[in-house]
Chain A
């Protein structure tokens, strides 16, 4: 149980374009979803916390106008990287939380490469 599906697994896009990443909780309702970014050989850095039906809370230093997060339902959250640049190339991972204090369940991640 507690499966999180993330799509796409990898994407290559040109500089200046936008990319949307989807995160779905398949067998539980995720009232809260977290978006992380991971650069090579580094740990996961929390980008933002999204709650269903409300605006996302962004961590310091993360541009909310660049990384648009939508959590329209209890099973779907999306992250859109707008006007992507090569420095946005990274591994983006979403996670969902079903019940309070339960372990986070992670999607398989999306490797974004911006050329």
Chain B
């Protein structure tokens, strides 16, 4: 299987830091993506990890451990506009263009 698990909902306070975890089955792994999706809109790309370690992009960072089948998205200095659904997506397949499978998404609510 290609089970991708992430928490359903999270709540955090404006200005704080929040970490959204994602676990996946490692067989066939070929890259992990994080997307942000606001209600009624298409997902927008946030980050990509294929090697172990931390990728930093402004207020957003993403970490990957391939051996553990684990990733997290870290959001710093939270803003109200960060309230959205965050989707962990894993590319499976031995070819360069294997299919991208999404987790169920984590709905983040940022409160004042």
Contacts and interface: CB of A to CB of B under 8 A. Distances in A.
8 contacts: A32-B97, A34-B100, A46-B101, A93-B42, A103-B45, A106-B44, A109-B42, A111-B40
A86 B102 CA distance: 25
Contacts of B104: 42-43
Range of interface residues on A (Cβ < 8 Å): 20 to 34
Interface of B: 30-31, 33, 40-45, 48, 50, 87, 89, 91, 96-97, 99-105
Nearest to A108: B42
Given A100-B96, A108-B42, A44 B87 contact: yes
Interface in A83-112: 93, 95, 97, 100-101, 103-109, 111
Contacts of B42: 6, 93, 106-109
A105 B44 CA distance: 8
Nearest to A107: B42
Contacts of A105: 45
Interface of A: 6, 31-32, 34, 36, 42-46, 49, 93, 95, 97, 100-101, 103-109, 111
Contact of B43 (A46, A101, A106): A106
Contact of A43 (B48, B50, B103): B103
Nearest to A36: B102
Nearest to B106: A43
B41 A104 contact: no
A43 B100 contact: no
A101 B91 contact: yes
